[in-house]
A and B are shown apart, each in its own frame.
Chain A
Amino acid sequence: MKILEIEKIVEENEIIKSFYFTDESIAKAEPAQFVMLWIPHVVSGEIDFEVPDQIPMSVSSVERDQFSLTVRKYGKTTAELFKYKKGDVVGMTGPLGRGFTVSGSRVLCVAGGIGVAPLFLLVQKLQGRKIHFILGATTESELLLQEKLEELCTSLCITTDDGTCGKKGFACDPVEDLCEKYNIDQIYCCGPEIMMYKVCKMSVRQNIPSQFSLERYMYCGLGLCGHCAINGFLVCKDGPVFTAEELKDIKDFGVKKVDETGRKVDV
C-alpha cells in the first residue's frame, strides 16, 4: 500500500468531489481499473469498527503523473473522506483489475450516475475518434462533468430520471437510436447494473461490440478471497470490465449479486 497526499480537491457539486494525487504507476491506470482506497479514519480520530476503512474506487482522470478519484458521498466511508483536506494522506493499492480496451472509431459511452468517472478517463484516451456520450443521472443536480464532456465529445446526450435536464428517462433509453444515427461500432457502459443489462441486450441484438464495468461487494480486491465472483469470474481480477460476449456466460449479470456475507441477493 502506498501512502499518498491529497494535492487538490475539486468540488464537482454538493455530493461529488474529485481528489488529486501524484503517483507514476497509478497514473498509468486503464479506464475502469481501480485502486483500493484506504481512508484511515484519522481525521475523526475515533476507533470505529462499524465503518469500512477501504473501498474500491476507479481512476477518473490522469495527466502525466497526476491522477484523480471522483467520489460520490454515499455511505459512512465516503463521508469520512469528504472531511479530508488538501495535505491529508490516504493509502492506495493499485491499479487493479482489467480496464476498458480502447477500440472502435465511432464509439458510444453510456454513463449512469457516478459510472461517468471511469468513462471520463476513457474519453481522454479516445481523443481523435468520434465519441458520442450519454450522461444519465437521477436529477439535474447530480449530473457530473457535463461541461468537460461537452468539450471532449463529438456529441453529448443528457438524461435525467425526473426530466429536470435533457431527456426524461434512463441513460439506456437513447442507445438504440444513437447507435443507428451515428453508425456506432463500439459501446462502453458503466452505471446501475439493470441499465447495463439493457444496453448489453441491445448491443448483442444490433451486433455492436460492447464493454461493461461491473461492481460487486469486494473484500481483498486482489483476486485472492473470491468473494466478488460472478459465475466463476472474479470481478476484481478478471474484470471489472467484461465484454458482452463474456457476459453471455455470466448468468447472474443483471440478476443476482452477493451481499457482504456471500448470500445471493437480487441486483
Chain B
Amino acid sequence: MDVSVDLCGLNLKNPLILASGILGTKGAVLKRVVENGAGAVVTKSIGIYPRAGYNNPTVLEISNEIVLNAMGLPNPGCDAFENEIKVAKEGGVPVVVSIFGGSKEEFAQVASVMQKAGADMLELNFSCPHSPKDSLYYHLSKYERLYVGQIPDMALEVVQEVKERMKKIPVMVKLSPNVTSIIEIADACIRGGADALSLVNTFKALEIEPWVEKPILGNHLGGQSGPSIRCIAQRKVADILVAMKKGDIEEKPVVGVGGIESGEDVARFLLLGCTCVQIGSAVLNHGFDIFKKCLDELQSYMEAKGYNNLDDFRGKALKWLVNHG
C-alpha cells in the first residue's frame, strides 16, 4: 500500500504533517516527531526578532474536545532558529517553516533567512496582527485588531512580496477561519502566488472562570482547536475545494487542519480532496504516538476499502457538495 504524497514537488512518505505551534521550537523535538511517523513537520511560527510569548496560562484543556490557546508567538527569532532547522532536517522528511511578520517586508526577510537555512517549504501564518503604523487598521484596540489573513489586499501583497524572494521553495498560506468569506481570502493568496493553502487556524475564542469571574487565558483572548472544531474546519475546507472545482478560484493543493485525531478523521479530509493533513492538538491526549496511530488507522481503513493509494479515494466525497444545487 502506498500512502505517499506529492505536495508542491515535495515527496511525503505519508500525508500526516505536524501542525505549526505544536512541539515545534526545537529541532531535536521535531526529529522525534518524525521518528514517530510524521510525513513532514511544520515549525513553530518564526519572526524576525526574538519574542516572548504571552503570560501563562497560554494553553487550556477546557475538555477532551476543546483546547484554547494564546501563546503569543514566542520564538527565538529567525537567525537563532537556523540551527534548529538543520537539526530537524536530520529526520529526513520535509521541514516546513512557519513564519510571521508585522509587515510584508518583515515576512519577506524572515522567508529569505529560512530559505537559506534549508527550509523545504514555508507556511505563512496570517493569524498575526498587521501592525505597520501606516495601516488603515492601526488605530484599532488590541481587542478589535485584525489579522493579515482577514484583509484580502494585505494578504495578497504579503504573499507577493514573499514569493518574489522565494524562487527555490514553495510557499503555503495558513488561513484563518475568522473571516466573512474564506474563499475571498484564499483567492487573494492564490493570486498573490501561493503554491498551497492550509486551513484552518484556530477559531477566536474565550473562556471565563465563573468563580473567579475573569477570563482564564493570560492574554484573556485566544483561539480554539481540538476535535470540537473538526466539522467546522471540514466545512471551510469544502468551501474552498468546491470553489476550486467549480473554477471560481484557481486549483492549488489544500492541506486540511482542524481537530484530526484518528485515521478516519484523516480520511474525511482526504475524501473532501485535501492533498494531506496537519495534526496538532491531538498531541495533547496522544503524545508523540498520534502520528503512528493515525497512520495505522488510515492504512486499516484503506485496506478495508480496497484502496492501494490515496488517489484512489481523494476527493470522492466532494461531488455531493459540488452538485449541491
Give bound CA distance, A214 to B31, whole Å: 22
Smallest CB separation, B90 vs chain A (Å): 11
B74 and A227 form a contact (CB under 8 A): yes
Binary contact track B267-308/A, C-beta < 8 Å → 1, others 0: 000000000000001011001000000000000000000000
Complex contact B76–A225 (CB within 8 A):
no
Cα distance A94–B141 in the bound complex, in angstroms: 35
A260 to B75 alpha-carbon distance, docked (Å): 8
Partner of B28, one of A50, A224, A231, A261: A231
The reply to whether B218 and A54 contact each other, CB–CB distance below 8 Å, is yes
B5 interfacial contact with A, CB 8 Å: no
Distance to closest chain A CB from B260 (angstroms):
15
Shortest Cβ distance from residue A7 to the other chain B in the assembled complex, whole angstroms: 16
The answer to whether B145 has its CB under 8 Å from any CB of chain A is no
Do B56 and A263 touch across chains, with their CB atoms under 8 A apart? no
Is A82's CB within 8 Å of the partner chain B? Answer: no
B219 — which chain A residues lie within 8 A by C-beta?
A: 49
Determine whether the beta carbon of B29 is less than 8 Å from that of A232: yes
Task: Find chain A residues with CB under 8 A from B136 CB.
Answer: none
CB pair B24–A226 under 8 Å, yes or no, is yes
B28 and A89 form a contact (CB under 8 A): no
Residues of A within 8 A of B52 (CB): 259-261
Interface residues in A142-186 by Cβ distance below 8 A to B read: none
Q: Which of A10-18, A36-44, A112-120, A131-139 contacts B (4 or more CB under 8 A)?
A: A36-44
Chain B nearest Cβ from A254, distance in angstroms: 17
Report whether B22 and A225 are in contact in the complex, using a CB–CB cutoff of 8 Å.
yes
Indicate with 1 or 0, residue by residue over B145-160, a CB within 8 angstroms of chain A CB atoms: 0000000000000000
* A225 CB → nearest B CB, Å: 6
Interface bin, chain B: 35 or more
Q: Are A36 and B57 closer than 8 Å at their CB atoms?
A: yes
CB distance from A219 to the nearest CB of B (A): 5
Q: Which residues of A contact B26 (CB under 8 A)?
A: 226, 229, 232
| B216 part of interface (Cβ distance < 8 Å) | yes
Q: Does B241 lie at the interface of the complex (its beta carbon under 8 Å from any beta carbon of A)?
A: no
A24 to B213, CA, bound (A): 25
CB distance from A264 to the nearest CB of B (A): 7
A224 to B19, CA, bound (A): 11
Of all chain A residues, the one with the shortest Cβ separation from B217 is A53
185-235 of chain B: CB within 8 A of chain A:
209, 211-214, 216, 218-219
A209 at the interface (CB under 8 A from B): no
Report A-chain residues with C-beta under 8 Å of the C-beta of B51.
261
Q: Are the CB atoms of B77 and A263 closer together than 8 Å?
A: yes
**How far in angstroms is the closest Cβ of chain B from A201?**
22
A72 within 8 A of B: no
Cβ–Cβ contact B284 & A262, under 8 A: no
Chain B residues, CB < 8 A from A36: 56-57
A219 lies within 8 A of B24 (CB) = no
Q: Does B7 contact A (CB under 8 A)?
A: no
Chain B 51-92 interface residues, beta-carbon cutoff 8 Å to A = 51-61, 67, 69, 71, 74-77, 80
Do A220 and B59 contact each other (CB < 8 Å), given the known contacts A89-B211, A229-B25, A262-B50? Answer: yes
- CB <8 Å contact, A225 and B23: yes
A208 within 8 A of B: no
* CB-based A-B contact count at 8 angstroms: 126
Contact call A225/B218, Cβ cutoff below 8 A: no
Known: A38-B216, A261-B50, A263-B76. A225 touches B71 (CB 8 A): yes
Contact present for A226 and B59 (CB under 8 Å): no
Closest residue of chain A to B35, judged by CB?
A232
Q: Does B245 contact A (CB under 8 A)?
A: no
Cross-interface CB contact of B55 among A51, A91, A237, A258, cutoff 8 Å: A51
Contact present for B74 and A219 (CB under 8 Å)? yes
Q: A224-B22, A232-B31 are in contact. Are A261 and B77 (CB under 8 A)?
A: yes
A102 within 8 A of B: no
Looking at the complex, which one of B22, B53, B54, B55 makes contact with A226 (CB distance below 8 Å)? B22
Residue in B25, B31, B287 whose beta carbon sits within 8 Å of that of A223 in the complex: B287
Q: Report the nearest B residue to A218, measured CB to CB.
A: B56
Q: Determine whether the beta carbon of B209 is less than 8 Å from that of A262.
A: no
Closest chain-B Cβ to A233's Cβ sits at a distance in Å of 8
Chain B contacts of A1 at CB under 8 A? 57, 60, 209, 216
Residues of chain B with a CB closer than 8 A to A53's CB: 55-57, 218
Instruction: Answer yes or no: B102 CB below 8 A from chain A CBs.
Output: no
Q: Do residues B71 and A219 form an inter-chain contact, with CB atoms below 8 A?
A: yes
Are B212 and A42 in contact (CB-based, < 8 A)? yes
Q: CB of B163 within 8 A of chain A?
A: no
The CA-CA distance from A6 to B135 in the complex, in Å, is 48
User: Separation in Å of the A133 CB from the closest CB of chain B?
Assistant: 32
B21 at the interface (CB under 8 A from A): yes
Which A residues between 53 and 72 are near B, CB-CB below 8 angstroms? 53-55
Besides A1-B216, A54-B55, 4 new A-B residue pairs in contact (Cβ under 8 A), listed by A number: A3-B212, A54-B56, A234-B23, A264-B76
Binding site for B on A (CB under 8 A): 1, 3, 36, 38, 40, 42, 49-55, 89, 91, 93, 218-227, 229, 231-232, 234, 237, 258-264
Residue pairs across A and B with Cβ atoms less than 8 A apart, 28 shown, are A3-B211, A40-B214, A42-B214, A49-B218, A50-B55, A54-B57, A55-B56, A91-B209, A219-B53, A219-B58, A219-B71, A219-B74, A223-B284, A224-B22, A225-B21, A225-B25, A226-B29, A226-B44, A229-B25, A260-B52, A260-B53, A260-B74, A261-B74, A261-B75, A261-B77, A262-B80, A263-B50, A263-B80
